[in-house]
Amino acid sequence: MAPSVSTTINKVLTVVPATEVATERAMSEENSTTMDNSVPFPPPSVQSAPLIDCSVSDTVRINRRLWWALPILTIAWIGLVAVIAASLTPLKLWELAPGSAEQVSNRLSFDKTALSKVMRYPAKTPVLFVTAFGSKLSALDAFAGALDDDVDVQTYKERYGTSTPSEQKRLGYQSMTTAKQIAEYVAYTRLGLDASFVYGDLIVKELVCLDNPGPLSGCKQLQLGDTITALDGEPTPTLLELSPLMAGRALGDIVTLTIKPADTTDSSSAEVMKRIQLIADPDTPTRPIIGFIPADTRTVQLPFEVGIDTDQIGGPSAGLAFTLALLDELTPGDLMGGVKVAATGTIEEDESVGAIGALAQKAVAVKAAGAKVFLVPKGQSEEELAAARRAVGSSVRIEPVANLTEALAILESLGGSGISNATIEL
């Protein structure tokens, strides 16, 4: 009987050891990968980047950046802290800087009483009045002001002289009130209306001191804001009574003033007596003076009042502008002739225009407001006028005037309507 297939296979497996089968399989697989028609792959070349060198290079670059960044960052922080500290550090310095140039007509108000007596002609081309700033400075402001040609940094003495900030503010507001009333007086009398002055108390506004003043000099004995009520027992309720009493006095004479000190109440019991030695007038050395400049405390009796809102603005320098604005509002036509005009200068009862301060700074404000003509006092010094002209260049025409008549003539030359034919009947 022939052997079965399974039996044959078992015999073969018995004859050939398992190891030989494995060896032949391995050789067969090896030959299959090295056949003539195969392309052998080269072993992969591993060219890894020099990790150590790259790390060192990156570190160097990072360190180089930090070397620049850290000092810059430190300086920036120090600068920021310095700026903040400077802005918060007040100094005893004040600025004299360009302020604003504003329309006077926007600040005028006519009540029913005024409108029942006169006709109002709203300004077609309003005149501008000009201000200058004078606030206290921080260290940062003072540094910036020193670099600005339009700003004058002032010391306490330059700003206030022998007065105090509160005294100067009070006198400034009083001067503005008087300037408004004088402007009304001048405008009304120019138009033929009935107006008159009433003189007020004799109040010390400024002190006049010579070199090495003696113990009885007025600048030693008087204080700003003091009210002088008598000289050698003679009442001096106003400046009008004081002037005749000074006649016949000589340099070095000693007079006795009755004074109501500035820091007391209105009670007559607060009055004190002070002996004052007369000194020479700096402008007229042969003329004896007490040594003070009185505040202008005049008030005006008017047929009607026109309100002029000056807010927190002090000083008398807007007198000319107020006068021109009132004349424009009380007469038909266009007083400015369609030209944008600014004006500065005090106004006196005789219509004269007086000098003012901070002319160059005010000129800068006029230029910024777009005005074409700037009326200024003829009494300003040549240096002040030259500085104002440099500040505005050719964009603003600066015209010095000595009085109201000269100002009106310039306005008529610009095409203004004038007031020569304007009269008002109440």
Asked whether the predicted pLDDT for residue 19 surpasses 50, the reply is no
Residues listed for the chain? 426
| Dihedral of the alpha carbons of 311, 316, 321, 326, in degrees to the nearest 10 | 70
Asked whether the predicted pLDDT for residue 37 surpasses 70, the reply is no
- Stretch 184-194: mean pLDDT, rounded? 91
* 100: Cβ contacts below 8 Å, ≥ 6 apart: 130, 131, 365, 369
| Dihedral of the alpha carbons of 378, 409, 404, 188, in degrees to the nearest 10 | -170
Cα 217 to the center of its chain, rounded Å: 37
Q: How far apart are CA 184 and CA 307, in angstroms?
A: 10
Q: How far apart are CA 186 and CA 167, in angstroms?
A: 28
Model confidence at 403, in pLDDT bands (50, 70, 90)?
very high
Q: Which pLDDT score is estimated for 42?
A: 52
Q: Which pLDDT score is estimated for 30?
A: 42
Return the CATH fold of 200-297: Pdz3 Domain (2.30.42)
The string of pLDDT tens digits covering residues 363-379 is 999 999 999 999 999 99
423/92: higher pLDDT: 92
3/237: higher pLDDT: 237
Model confidence at 58, in pLDDT bands (50, 70, 90)?
low
Considering the entire predicted model, what is its pTM? 0.67
The answer to whether residues 362 and 130 touch, using CB atoms and an 8 Å cutoff, is yes
The string of pLDDT tens digits covering residues 333-365 is 999 999 999 999 999 999 999 999 999 999 999
Among the residue ranges 27-41, 183-197, 342-356, 380-394, the one predicted with the least confidence is: 27-41
- Stretch 223-250: mean pLDDT, rounded? 92
Asked whether the predicted pLDDT for residue 273 surpasses 60, the reply is yes
Domains 92-199+302-418 and 200-297 share a fold: no
CATH classification for the domain delimited by 92-199+302-418, as one of 1.10.10.10, 1.10.10.60, 3.30.230.10, 3.40.1170.60: 3.30.230.10
Give domain limits for the chain. 92-199+302-418, 200-297
Q: How far apart are CA 417 and CA 121, in angstroms?
A: 13
Model confidence at 39, in pLDDT bands (50, 70, 90)?
very low
Asked whether the predicted pLDDT for residue 25 surpasses 70, the reply is no
The residue among 144, 95, 125 whose CA lies nearest residue 416 is 125
Model confidence at 198, in pLDDT bands (50, 70, 90)?
confident
- Stretch 108-135: mean pLDDT, rounded? 90
Q: Which pLDDT score is estimated for 31?
A: 41
Q: Which pLDDT score is estimated for 6?
A: 44
- Stretch 111-130: mean pLDDT, rounded? 91
Q: Which pLDDT score is estimated for 77?
A: 79
Asked whether the predicted pLDDT for residue 23 surpasses 60, the reply is no
Q: How far apart are CA 330 and CA 123, in angstroms?
A: 9
For 221-247, b/e burial (b = at least 16 CB within 10 A) is bbbbbbbbbbbeeeebebbeebeeebe
Q: Output the 3-class SS for the chain.
A: CCCCHHHHHHHHHHHCCHHHHHHHHHHHHHHHCCCCCCCCCCCCCCCCCCHHHHHHHHHHHHHHHHHHHHHHHHHHHHHHHHHHHHHHCEEEEEEEEEEEEEECHHHEEECHHHHCCCCCCCCCCCCEEEEEECCEEEHHHHHHHHHCCCCEEEEHHHHHCCCCHHHHHHHHHHHHHHHHHHHHHHHHHHCCCCCEEECCCCEEEEECCCCCCCCCCHHHHCCCCCEEEEECCEECCCHHHHHHHCCCCCCCCEEEEEEECCCCCCCHHHCEEEEEECEECCCCCCCEECCEEECCCCEEECCCCEEECCCCCCCCCCHHHHHHHHHHHCCCCCCCCCCCEEECCEECCCCEEECCCCHHHHHHHHHHCCCCEEEEECCCCHHHHHHHHHHHCCCCEEEEECEHHHHHHHHHHCCCCCCCCCCCCC
